[in-house]
Amino acid sequence: MPVSPKKGSVLAGSMDLGLLRKGAHSPSYFSLLRGMGGQQSELIDFCIPCNPYFPTPEMFERLERNLQTILKYYPSDGDTITAELCTTLGLNPQTVAMGNGSTELITWIDHLLIHDSLATPIPTFGRWTDQPLETDKRVDMFQLPESHDFALDVDAFVHFVRQRGSRVAVICNPNNPDGGYLPRREVIKLLDQLVDLDLVVVDESFIDFVDAEAHTSVADEAAIRPNVIVLKSLGKNFGLHGIRFGYLVANPALAGKVRKVLPKWNLNAFAEVVVFLLKQHREEYHRSLELFIQDRRMMIQQLAALPGLTVFASQGNFVLVKLPDGKDGVQLRDFLFAEHGIYVRECGNKLGSSSRFLRFVVRPQQDVRLLLTGLHAFLYGASGDALASVSDWRGSYEQDSWRFAPPGNDVSSVASLGQARHRKR
Ligand SMILES: Cc1ncc(COP(=O)(O)O)c(C=O)c1O
């Protein structure tokens, strides 16, 4: 149904909100822009989880300057680009396969290594349930308990895998959409207990956003174990979803099996140029994560201050919230889109979730203020300055900047985002 935004709405044209309701995944930003008649600057994207601080403007300028070369010439083959990525990340190329987005690798993992059944906690990233279902595998879904803030209990999951007789297990760490993080020692416990399975996949696509502990990834374990793959998207942490690049780490035989089926030029020239740029921009990348972590703490605290909203502490670059009784996520999503030009992920079409849940990507403060205003209007019927409801924070913002000064640096009440997740209200 086409929507004609009310007077004062940030969306000037009319937009078919049916676009937001199609399929298991969110519509692409490009189809939304086309649906809006190309008003790019109007839409604030709280849906697609992407690092807002990387690449830097200088890196983008460099890409722009090289656009013609990038588009006109063949990239190097996948092995050359993979070797460079491995040098930068300190990985052994024999243990790595690089794909055109980690979704390409999920597809090949399914085709090559999942023979009859897979167990995974839900809610989770949709391709981990949909891909094996599309190829007629049995998917054993382990419901994460909302009553425990969607935390994954390793013993309970292993028990479930045994009961169902699943041959493959997949976890996302941190998990999408709740942002729950399983400490490294717990992941290793899981790998130890499931050593007899055909395969255990740990999808670490959001792991660079974790600040709960210093040593997070189990990629080093994957490289020396018989049945473990660690998967990593690069679009999220490097802020470049359009490029489509990701990789997996596994023992050389397993990684080689996947590498062998990948087309020679499966990675494009944008991926090549960015991979070769990364080494020179490590510092900017680390700085981007520091800024992001401040934003996440701040945003969780602000959301938790909205009466009636349940906020789940997250180690991902998004925050899951639950609406109060009687409020519907589809209505909120459509309202934010039509009235505030804000695009959010309503989670009703995620298995194991419902339309009371929404996922908001962590964004700089200037955007969060607009989100809070929209939420305030929807939840309490009042328009105006949502920051009034988070008065503790007033005066702490440097109003015209995305930088901020947390009051007394005391964000501990909400931001003790360590191993455990805390329900905020
Ligand atoms: C947990 C998880 N893994 C993998 C992906 C796919 O990432 P890519 O863009 O690299 O295909 C997503 C996308 O949201 C995700 O949430």
Give 192-225 pLDDT, tens digit per residue.
Answer: 999 999 999 999 999 999 999 999 999 999 999 9
- Alpha-carbon distance of 228 to 254, in angstroms, equals 9
Ligand 1, pocket residues at CB < 6 Å = 101-103, 125, 172, 176, 203, 205, 233, 235, 241, 246
Smallest CA separation from ligand 1 atom 16, residue: 125
Q: Check pLDDT > 60 for residue 286.
A: yes
What letters, b where the CB count within 10 A reaches 16 and e where it falls short, cover 150-163? bbbbbeebbebbee
Q: Report how far ligand 1's centroid is from the alpha carbon of 179 (Å).
A: 13
Q: Report how far ligand 1's centroid is from the alpha carbon of 175 (Å).
A: 11
Q: For a pocket test of ligand 1, which of 233, 248, 318, 320 has the largest count of ligand atoms closer than 8 A to its C-beta? A: 233
Q: Report how far ligand 1's centroid is from the alpha carbon of 59 (Å).
A: 23
Smallest CA separation from ligand 1 atom 14, residue: 125
- Alpha-carbon distance of 272 to 328, in angstroms, equals 43
In terms of C-beta distances under 8 Å and separation of at least 24 residues, what long-range contacts does 87-94 make, across chains too? Answer: 87/279, 88/275, 88/278, 88/279, 88/282, 91/219, 91/223, 91/249, 92/223, 92/252, 94/252, 94/255, 94/256
Q: Check pLDDT > 60 for residue 331.
A: yes
* Element (DSSP H or E) covering residue 286: helix 282-304
The confidence score (pLDDT) of residue 30 equals: 78
Q: Report how far ligand 1's centroid is from the alpha carbon of 172 (Å).
A: 10
Classify 71-281 by CATH class. alpha beta
Q: For a pocket test of ligand 1, which of 176, 317, 359 has the largest count of ligand atoms closer than 8 A to its C-beta? A: 176
Instruction: HSE, CB side, 13 Å, CA atoms: give it for residue 409.
Output: 0
> Rounded to the nearest 10 degrees, what angle do helices 57-65 and 269-278 cross at?
140
Q: Check pLDDT > 50 for residue 298.
A: yes
Report the CATH architecture of 2-55+284-415.
Alpha-Beta Complex (3.90)
Q: Check pLDDT > 70 for residue 387.
A: no
Give 348-358 pLDDT, tens digit per residue.
Answer: 999 999 999 99
Q: Check pLDDT > 60 for residue 336.
A: yes
- Determine the residue type at 275: V
The confidence score (pLDDT) of residue 26 equals: 76
The model's confidence at residue 39, banded by pLDDT at 50, 70 and 90, is: low
Every domain of the chain and the residues it spans:
2-55+284-415, 71-281
Give 246-275 pLDDT, tens digit per residue.
Answer: 999 999 999 999 999 999 999 999 999 999
Residue 383 tokens, joined? 């328009």
Q: Report how far ligand 1's centroid is from the alpha carbon of 33 (Å).
A: 22
- Alpha-carbon distance of 302 to 126, in angstroms, equals 28
Atom of ligand 1 nearest to the CA of 48: 14
